[in-house]
Amino acid sequence: MRHLLSLGLVLLMTSGLFAQKDVYKANWESLSAHNEAPEWFSDAKFGIYFHWGVYSVPAYYSEWYPYFMYRDNKVKEHHIKTYGELSEFNYHDFVPMFKGKQFDAEEWAQLFKDAGAKFAGPCSQHHDGFAMWDSKVNPWNSKDKGPKKDITGLLSKAVKERDMKFIATFHHARNLQRHEGNPDKFATYHSHFAHVPGTATASTDKKIAKMYGNIPADEFNEYWFDQLKEVIDQYSPDIIWFDVWLRMIPLEYRQQFAAYYLNEAKKKDQEVIIAYKQAAIPNTVGVLDIEQGGKRDQSESVWLTDITLSNKSWSYIEGQTYKTPQMVVRNMIDVWSKNGVVLLNVSPTADGVINQEQRDILKRIGEWMKKYDEAVYETRPYSINGFGNAKAEEGDHGGQTAKVKYTAKDARFLKSKDGKYIYLFILGKPAPGTVISTKELGVHKYYPEEGIKKITHMGTDTTCEWGFGDINFELTVPDAEMDDIANVFRMELN
């Protein structure tokens, strides 16, 4: 009898009767029940990803090469001069040239970890329709073509083995040709590929048409969703990030995606994040991303910004230039002080090389992050974000630019989660003997029982002299070696 009962239990379980039911339904009310910004994300502060794909082969202008090569401009002129007429050489003809022979997932993951990143991953698919994973849904993928490697799978494994979270970013909502039923209306901004008769963009071959988004909208929406399900099922990303064109996907598909992702994560006991831009999904469901910039003021909710290490484009191009470690880190500190998290983009060559110039910058960032790790990771915003006189220009996508030129006259705050420490970041290299004066901490003069007990310059462990004026708090920079990126003073509270 006992044997029969056990057998019956096994049959019930295998029949799915005891299978875990979906927690989340495909509507915003149900989806809002999940924690859109888990604590690990607030603790992480910094992640790295990369724009690397077929567009890396021409290495000209930007990752928007396929957008411009079918429109009348200098990119098209360059393409015809270099590769031939569009009737003979199309964007998909670059695919066999995208070999990535020197790509090394283990080495890249270690590079990102050494730079201080707590999460990392690829641009899994850009607007160009080429999937950077082993796909059965998309015939244009990195396992079957080009590198002949499962880029996303290899990175997922290498990143997770190093105790980092894994991010997969998606830009493919823009891949559909949205010419509103008029094929001649190919200049629409929301279609990545123009519909140009006599070229592959207008091909009726099913395989080619799929890459160029020359398919019916209903079919494309299913295709968009199926590719996401494939990545979720195969790699279990901790963050799925979307570019701004997520808004172009019908509401029901966005909700179905979110429900599928969150339910799968629940089964795996994963705390996951959906990152979005503008108003593609509610802020109760995902984390807002502001491209190439950040909020001007402190935010109650956690947010994200994606920024480039490079100056000219997101992908590698010939003649690329890069930001200094000073600019990158100082602008990151500003983001952290306002309850933000940073996603930094690097740009490998088509061969799979992250060049030495980028590596040197990442190494210097990593050295700084390691020196001041206590003041960065697992911290929270202070009651005010900081003070100073640096001028922050408008960002191209909202908020302020990610290229603010901060100096030692600018400061930002963070605090430890347990409330025992305040961390004062000076965004430059102050000279010994300089008096840092601010009324922002002057209140501690009147509440000594809650006030400052000791101040130490982190990195050198030098004790600092400090006190109060009439209304200002005053800190004297000690005679110690100052960091040329930014310096942190740990304030121990009573």
pLDDT digits (tens, 9 = 90+) for 187-218: 578 899 999 999 999 999 999 999 999 999 99
CA distances from 387 to 64, 91, 263, 412 (A): 38, 49, 43, 6
Mean predicted lDDT score pLDDT of the chain: 93
The one-character DSSP state at 96 is: G
What single-letter amino acid sits at 382?
Answer: Y
Residue 4 lies in a domain: no
Distance between first and last Cα of the chain: 68
pLDDT in tens, 27-83: 999 999 999 999 999 999 999 999 999 999 999 999 999 999 999 899 999 999 999
Task: Kindly state the tokens that stand for 236.
Answer: 């279990």
**Quick check: 226 pLDDT over 70?**
yes
What pLDDT is recorded for position 287? 98
* pLDDT at residue 13 is higher than 80: no
- The number of beta carbons lying within 10 Å of the beta carbon of residue 388 is 17
Please state the pTM of the whole predicted model: 0.94
pLDDT of 17 above 50:
no
Report the pLDDT value the prediction gives residue 356, as an integer from 0 to 100: 98
The answer as to whether 436 is a domain residue is yes
Q: What is the mean pLDDT of residues 261-270?
A: 98
Q: Which amino acid is at 152?
A: T
**178 in a domain, yes or no?**
yes
400 lies in the same domain as 420: yes
Packed helices 105-114 and 356-371: angle between N→C axes, nearest 10 degrees? 40
Residues in CB range of 241: below 8 A, 6 or more apart: 167, 168, 169, 170, 275, 276, 289, 304, 306, 343
Instruction: Give me the percent of the chain exceeding a pLDDT of 70.
Output: 93
Supply the pLDDT for residue 470: 82
What would the two tokens of residue 166 be? 């894994």
Q: What is the mean pLDDT of residues 283-288?
A: 98
Listed in sequence order, the DSSP H helices in 236-305 are: 251-267
Q: Identify whether 136 is part of a domain.
A: yes
Q: Are residues 118 and 209 in the same domain?
A: yes
Question: Measured between alpha carbons, how far is 345 from 120 in angstroms, rounded to an integer?
Answer: 10
The enclosing domain of 85 has a CATH number of: 3.20.20.80
Are 163 and 85 members of one domain? yes
Q: How confident is the model at residue 440 (pLDDT cuts 50, 70, 90)?
A: confident
* Mean local confidence (pLDDT), 226-246: 98
Give the angle 399-472-444 at the CA atoms, nearest 5°: 90
8 A C-beta contact, residue 347 and residue 55: no
Which of 353, 378, 403 corresponds to the end of one domain? 378
- Span of 27-36, 278-287, 395-404, 425-434 with lowest mean pLDDT: 395-404
Whether residues 149 and 69 share a domain: the answer is yes
Does 327 lie in the same domain as 273? yes
On whether residue 11 sits in a domain, the answer given is no
For 435, the domain range is 386-493
pLDDT at position 12 over 50: no
Q: Is residue 216 part of a domain?
A: yes
pLDDT for position 11: 46
Residue 366 shares a structural domain with residue 310 = yes
Q: Does 199 map to a domain?
A: yes
The Cα-based distances of 318 to 49, 313, 323 in angstroms read: 20, 11, 16
Write down which residue in 361, 378, 395 finishes a domain: 378
Q: Say if residue 438 is in the same domain as residue 366.
A: no
Q: Among the three residues 321, 356, 378, which one is the final residue of a domain in this structure?
A: 378
Q: Which two tokens stand for residue 453?
A: 């007990």
CA 176-138-142 angle, 5° bins: 115
174 with 75, same domain? yes
Scan for tokens 């022979």, then name that residue: 101
Let me know if residue 13 belongs to a domain. no
Q: Are residues 445 and 318 in the same domain?
A: no
CA atoms within 13 A on the CB side of 371: 22
Query: Do 157 and 259 fall into the same domain?
Result: yes
Task: Between 399 and 11, name the one with better pLDDT.
Answer: 399
Q: In Å, what is the CA distance from 143 to each residue of 136, 139, 153? A: 10, 10, 10
Residues 334 and 419 in one domain: no
Residues 122 and 45 occupy one common structural domain: yes
Pairing of strands 293-294, 400-401: antiparallel
Which CATH number do you get for residue 430? 2.60.40.1180
To which H or E segment does residue 12 belong? Answer: helix 2-14
Task: Specify the number of domains making up the chain.
Answer: 2
